[in-house]
Amino acid sequence: MESLNDLIYGFGIALDPMNLMYVFVGVFAGTLIGMLPGLGPISALALMIPITFNMSPASGLILMSGVYYGAIFGGSTSSILLNAPGVAGTVATSFDGYPMAKQGLAGKALAIAAYASFVGGTISVVGLMLIAPLLSKVAVSFGPAEYFALMVLGLTAVVSLSDKSLVKGLIAAVVGIMISIMGMDLQTGTERYTFDSIHMLEGIDFLVVALGIFALAEVFYMLLKGSNKPQERNVIGSLKLSKSEVKEIAAPIGRSSILGFFTGVLPGAGATIGSFLGYSMEKRLAKDGDTFGKGNIKGVAAPEAANNAACGGSFVPLLTLGVPGSGTTAVLLGALLVMGVTPGPMMLEQRPDVFWGVIASMYIGNIFLLVLNLPLIPYIARILDAPRPLLLALILIFCMIGVYGISFSTFDLLMLLLFGLIGLVMRLYGFPAAPLILGLILGALMEESMRRALQISGGEWSIFIDKPISLTLLAIALFSLTAPMIKTAIKRARSA
């Protein structure tokens, strides 16, 4: 009841005409930023800090958070249409979204992404409103040992992500982990795999690899396999979902939203890991799991619900502890400090206007996003009508601009090309790309957490099973690895 009163108070702030305009401008700008591959919300938000300086903290945060969740919402578009993830959180969306677009179902894939994003975003706002202070306890309960266990659990998804050959999937995952630890080690300052190059000190940005392995490799592949195939890409298809399709995606969206929200609450996990977890969970649960990766609608719905929910979840540590859980929320924290608000445990009491105003604005923002995006789909999807040479050139340009926008480094452009070639080779020899990306996302955090945990325990490995959360996560990981084997063993025993 109390939170209802607070929410009404929050809507009082969010419905102020100026704040309504900020929500609209924020989500609109965010959608556009999200659609362009590479150009992520972090740089956009950093650029906006000067603009928000003279606003009230509530208005400033309403505008900036709008850009953030707007970008995650819009990021699916280029994942689906071009196989080029718009933001890191939408990489998993391309696994099934792009095959759908190739089959002439681009409209439907985009519509599913929009609905799933809307539901995921809204569920996370409800969670944020009802249990944010409680959840801050969950966020701090994750120490190094727990993070390590979570990363291990995440990595078991390699099994479900390697479609044909498990060995090739494992090879790809290990390469991904190796890429993730390139650069300077945070705990000792030692350089690893830097080949004595200054450019490698910083490691390799995630999006450089993702854009190379997915988008650029696709461009190269199309060039190689070239014109002997008739052009079949200019079908957008209907946006409408049949009743049975709605039924099919409803449960995955609900589950992935909740999973994504909790992943987002954990500092350091966030939308990218959330979307991968959602995707691999649904692939395992689905009866038609083997069609994931070939254009299954649940494979679009799950990661999109999860990444938008994670985005809402990431506001929990920010607003209740004053601790940023991701790069983007860190920029938001910086902006709040600049506006004279010090986020911390007392923020809810000291600045309820900021807390409840932002939460209320998220409800409005999500509705804006849905209303804004659905009618635009046919127009945006028309990019697929472009003649193939033009389209390929366009993808190439988008990727180059995106990568250069991250680091302003021409070296990274060469790395992009290199990963494009690696991606092509992987495709030609049947190595799946998804496990590599998964290893890349989880590897560094897993390693860092493990070393920290062991340093705290004085080298005792028991720390990983002494802690209940860590033990539970590791047990689930073990179970999900052995379950398929047990299943086949039982089947064999029965048939024998």
Helix axes 217-225, 388-407, angle to 10 degrees: 160
Rule CB under 8 A: say whether 184 interacts with other proteins.
Answer: yes
Question: What whole-number distance in Å separates Cα of residue 358 and Cα of residue 352?
Answer: 10
Rule CB under 8 A: say whether 100 interacts with other proteins.
Answer: no
Query: Stretches 25-33, 46-54, 284-292, 418-426: which one binds other proteins (CB under 8 A)?
Result: 46-54
Question: What whole-number distance in Å separates Cα of residue 270 and Cα of residue 267?
Answer: 7
Nearer to other proteins, 264 or 317 (CB): 317
Rule CB under 8 A: say whether 198 interacts with other proteins.
Answer: yes
Rule CB under 8 A: say whether 189 interacts with other proteins.
Answer: yes
- Tell me the per-residue interface mask from 219 to 258 with other proteins, x by CB under 8 A, - otherwise: ----------------------------------------
Helix (H) or strand (E) holding 126: helix 106-141
Nearer to other proteins, 253 or 403 (CB): 403
Q: What backbone phi and psi angles, to 5 degrees, belong to 323? A: -115, 125
Q: What backbone phi and psi angles, to 5 degrees, belong to 471? A: -60, -45
- Closest to 30 (Cα-Cα) out of 354, 366, 277, 351: 366
- Tell me the per-residue interface mask from 313 to 342 with other proteins, x by CB under 8 A, - otherwise: ----x---xxxx--x--xx-xx--xx-x-x
Q: Which member of 18, 134, 167, 201 binds other proteins (CB under 8 A)?
A: 201
What are 192's strand-pairing partners? 183
Rule CB under 8 A: say whether 346 interacts with other proteins.
Answer: yes
Q: What backbone phi and psi angles, to 5 degrees, belong to 192? A: -125, 135
Question: What whole-number distance in Å separates Cα of residue 158 and Cα of residue 175?
Answer: 12
Q: Which member of 174, 413, 452, 471 binds other proteins (CB under 8 A)?
A: 452
**Least distance (Å) from other proteins to the CB of residue 48?**
11
Rule CB under 8 A: say whether 181 interacts with other proteins.
Answer: no
**Both tokens of residue 97?**
């979204």
Q: Which member of 268, 289, 352, 378 binds other proteins (CB under 8 A)?
A: 268
Q: Is the dihedral of CA 274, 279, 285, 286 positive or negative?
A: positive
**Least distance (Å) from other proteins to the CB of residue 320?**
10
Query: Are 145 and 285 contacting, i.e. CB atoms less than 8 angstroms apart?
Result: no
What are 191's strand-pairing partners? 184
Query: Stretches 2-10, 45-53, 254-262, 366-374: which one binds other proteins (CB under 8 A)?
Result: 45-53
Binding site for other proteins (CB under 8 A): 46-47, 49-50, 53, 139-145, 183-184, 186-190, 198, 201-203, 267-268, 317, 321-324, 327, 330-331, 333-334, 337-338, 340, 342-346, 350, 448, 452, 455-458
